Chain A
């Protein structure tokens, strides 16, 4: 009889051990499910946000793309930039425009461009405004405008940061 009662305690212990283990396991599962449901809720909200704000997001990406100049190579990109800057300088009546790029390192995504020009201050200001408006990927790092009282002219010395990205070559065929 003692053995039977002892066995019964063993059974009680095993059952309650299992109950405790299952409680722990279920708590773990509940936490997992809760966490997954939160993830699902977040995912839904993200997708809803992405869907509802698609136009705004596209605009953001468009604005971001404007901050970098997509080029096939740096040389080609720089050529375009130099040409544009000089064309603008003519438009604003600036003279002696010099555009030089610093040495570029491999995998560089931005290069400093030094610019020298001469002309009246309003023309310089207009030129800078036009550059900033037309070329957001050219960002001013430093700029000195000095006025030569004798020659009655101003000189611009500026360093622009030219940000570019090498575009993937188009596939043929």
Chain B
């Protein structure tokens, strides 16, 4: 069984680091909460962390807002390599002591009100953040992503507020003893402030006056940073009256947001992080553009879907091929069995029987192709005109069949001899089918012998031979 590795979420503040895990029912459980400095120094040993934490995948590290810096730059290029080179150069110039600054940043391309392209970059700017990353990595639980409460709110508000990415937005997160102010420009986090609310002895008006003052100060800072005003102001507060109070004091509309906190929120032990108290499991587990990753790791993570696809497709193919292999084995076995059955029923192997037949046919054909002695003699004798008498016939079929002949032609004069010879040769050509190499008069040796006759009558002796095909 393939067991999915448990997920770990780490929240860090200036003093504490807390390890949370997400249970199967979607609730957070605190695995450990340790003093940050002890953890960084190593005095809080790995043994202080539960085994389950060390074997989990650290999906997210939430660090205080000020551990991350951000900047807007007017930038025309869109090519990733050009942007990366620009950011890394800028970060090295601004943070020469942080040698790894070029590996911890994220950027987004946005357009301002004048439709000019702006490059928004956020990056780790506190040395402690690097130390924490290295410590976690040493323990084998290096986080896949790093974010801040402001970035989580940015993602959250991006879903809730229409035109969030095209206007200036302020967000007030009011608690019992503190208040967090977040400001966003063109959908990107600009700055945040943490206001400690003094004990006013139940005088709410004094608290709201303080908030009014701080918010106005922040508006001023916002206008200085962006050369524009905050368009919308949202508030999350324990009771709705705070929204009305601030609307009246600020003299502009403050829109109240319903509380996000549900039973799936972070547990009580993690409440040491007041800026995170309203976050739900959904806020901290979704993957968005509001996080940065260690660049080499990010590059590798980009390959993760490819890896999983590779594993899935590979396994699927392996299974298919295994099945195919099995089917082929069965098929092969079946063919072998059929062959054994067939060969066992035959008395002799069929190929041997066919070889015997082939040899027999060859032998018979060879014999049939040999000229028969009687046939050759008959054809020769039948081709002979009456005036021709045989003296000798020789047939040799040891090699290429050759027929040689000596004969006497009875003719009164050369013309008669010639006529008889022509008839004889034509008959031979016809009967032995000698058309391609037909016998002609020039092939015949002719001898005139007067000694054999009565001295007056000439005796024509002819002598010739030819191949029988």
Give A contacts to B, CB under 8 Å: 1-2, 5, 8-9, 11-12, 15-16, 18-19, 22-23, 25-26, 29-30, 32-33, 36-37, 39-40, 43-44, 46-47, 49-50, 57, 60-61, 63-64, 67, 121, 124-126, 128-129, 132, 136, 139-147, 149, 158
Q: Is B285 an interface residue (CB 8 A)?
A: no
Q: List 11 A-B contacts (CB under 8 A).
A: A1-B137, A5-B300, A8-B304, A18-B314, A18-B318, A22-B325, A33-B331, A50-B350, A121-B390, A129-B374, A145-B394
Q: Is B310 an interface residue (CB 8 A)?
A: yes
Q: Are A139 and B350 in contact (CB under 8 A)?
A: no
B332-390 residues with Cβ-Cβ distance < 8 A to A are 332, 335-336, 338-339, 342-343, 345-346, 350-351, 353-354, 356-357, 360-361, 363-364, 367, 370, 372-374, 377-378, 381, 389-390
Q: Are A141 and B397 in contact (CB under 8 A)?
A: yes
Of A19, A44, A124, chain B has the most CB atoms within 10 Å of the CB of A19
Q: From known contacts A26-B328, A36-B335, infer whether A145 and B377 are also in contact, taking CB-CB under 8 Å.
A: yes
Out of A39, A125, A136, A143, name the residue touching B367 (CB < 8 Å). Answer: A136
Out of A121, A144, A158, name the residue touching B381 (CB < 8 Å). Answer: A121
Q: Is B392 an interface residue (CB 8 A)?
A: yes
Give B contacts to A, CB under 8 Å: 57, 137, 142, 144, 296-297, 300-301, 303-304, 307, 310-311, 314-315, 317-318, 321-322, 324-325, 328-329, 331-332, 335-336, 338-339, 342-343, 345-346, 350-351, 353-354, 356-357, 360-361, 363-364, 367, 370, 372-374, 377-378, 381, 389-398
Bound CA–CA A90/B389 (angstroms):
26
Bound CA–CA A28/B392 (angstroms):
70
Q: Are A60 and B357 in contact (CB under 8 A)?
A: yes
Q: Which residue of B lies closest to A6 (CB)?
A: B300
Of B144, B377, B389, B390, chain A has the most CB atoms within 10 Å of the CB of B377
Given A29-B332, A149-B391; 13 other pairs, CB 8 A cutoff? A1-B144, A11-B311, A12-B310, A16-B314, A50-B353, A60-B361, A67-B364, A128-B374, A132-B373, A141-B396, A143-B393, A144-B393, A147-B390
Q: Are A44 and B342 in contact (CB under 8 A)?
A: yes
Bound CA–CA A11/B412 (angstroms):
110
- Closest CB-CB distance, A3 to chain B, in whole Å? 8
Bound CA–CA A19/B142 (angstroms):
33
Q: Which residue of A lies closest to B339 (CB)?
A: A40
Bound CA–CA A22/B381 (angstroms):
78
- Closest CB-CB distance, B336 to chain A, in whole Å? 7
Q: Are A19 and B318 in contact (CB under 8 A)?
A: yes
Bound CA–CA A145/B403 (angstroms):
11
Which applies to chain B's interface (DSSP): helix, strand, loop or mixed? helix
Q: From known contacts A1-B297, A125-B374, infer whether A29 and B339 are also in contact, taking CB-CB under 8 Å.
A: no
Q: Are A5 and B367 in contact (CB under 8 A)?
A: no
Q: Are B325 and A29 in contact (CB under 8 A)?
A: yes
Q: Which residue of B lies closest to A39 (CB)?
A: B339
Bound CA–CA A147/B390 (angstroms):
7
Q: Are B339 and A141 in contact (CB under 8 A)?
A: no
Q: From known contacts A19-B314, A129-B374, infer whether A36 and B393 are also in contact, taking CB-CB under 8 Å.
A: no
**Which residues from A are CB-within-8-Å of B304?**
5, 8
Q: Are A5 and B395 in contact (CB under 8 A)?
A: no
Bound CA–CA A140/B373 (angstroms):
7
Q: From known contacts A11-B311, A60-B364, A132-B372, infer whether A145 and B393 are also in contact, taking CB-CB under 8 Å.
A: yes
- Closest CB-CB distance, A94 to chain B, in whole Å? 14
Q: Which residue of A lies closest to B335 (CB)?
A: A36
Q: Are B318 and A146 in contact (CB under 8 A)?
A: no
Bound CA–CA A118/B357 (angstroms):
41
Bound CA–CA A124/B307 (angstroms):
97
Q: Are A57 and B357 in contact (CB under 8 A)?
A: yes
Bound CA–CA A46/B353 (angstroms):
9
Bound CA–CA A149/B321 (angstroms):
92
**Which residues from B are CB-within-8-Å of A147?**
389-392
Q: Are B350 and A46 in contact (CB under 8 A)?
A: yes
Q: Are B318 and A142 in contact (CB under 8 A)?
A: no
- Closest CB-CB distance, B132 to chain A, in whole Å? 15
- Closest CB-CB distance, B308 to chain A, in whole Å? 8
Q: Which residue of A lies closest to B297 (CB)?
A: A1
**Which residues from A are CB-within-8-Å of B372?**
129, 132, 140
**Which residues from B are CB-within-8-Å of A43?**
339, 342-343, 350
Q: Are B392 and A145 in contact (CB under 8 A)?
A: yes
Q: Which residue of B lies closest to A38 (CB)?
A: B335
Bound CA–CA A80/B232 (angstroms):
132
Q: Which residue of B lies closest to A3 (CB)?
A: B140
Bound CA–CA A1/B342 (angstroms):
62
Bound CA–CA A140/B402 (angstroms):
13
Q: Are B318 and A143 in contact (CB under 8 A)?
A: no
Q: Are A125 and B335 in contact (CB under 8 A)?
A: no
- Closest CB-CB distance, B358 to chain A, in whole Å? 10
Bound CA–CA A9/B306 (angstroms):
10
- Closest CB-CB distance, B54 to chain A, in whole Å? 13
Q: Which residue of A lies closest to B348 (CB)?
A: A50
- Closest CB-CB distance, A135 to chain B, in whole Å? 12
Q: Are B307 and A8 in contact (CB under 8 A)?
A: yes
Bound CA–CA A57/B350 (angstroms):
13
Bound CA–CA A22/B316 (angstroms):
13
- Closest CB-CB distance, A49 to chain B, in whole Å? 8
**Which residues from A are CB-within-8-Å of B332?**
29, 32-33, 36
Out of B328, B345, B353, B391, name the residue touching A33 (CB < 8 Å). Answer: B328
**Which residues from A are CB-within-8-Å of B364?**
60, 63-64, 67
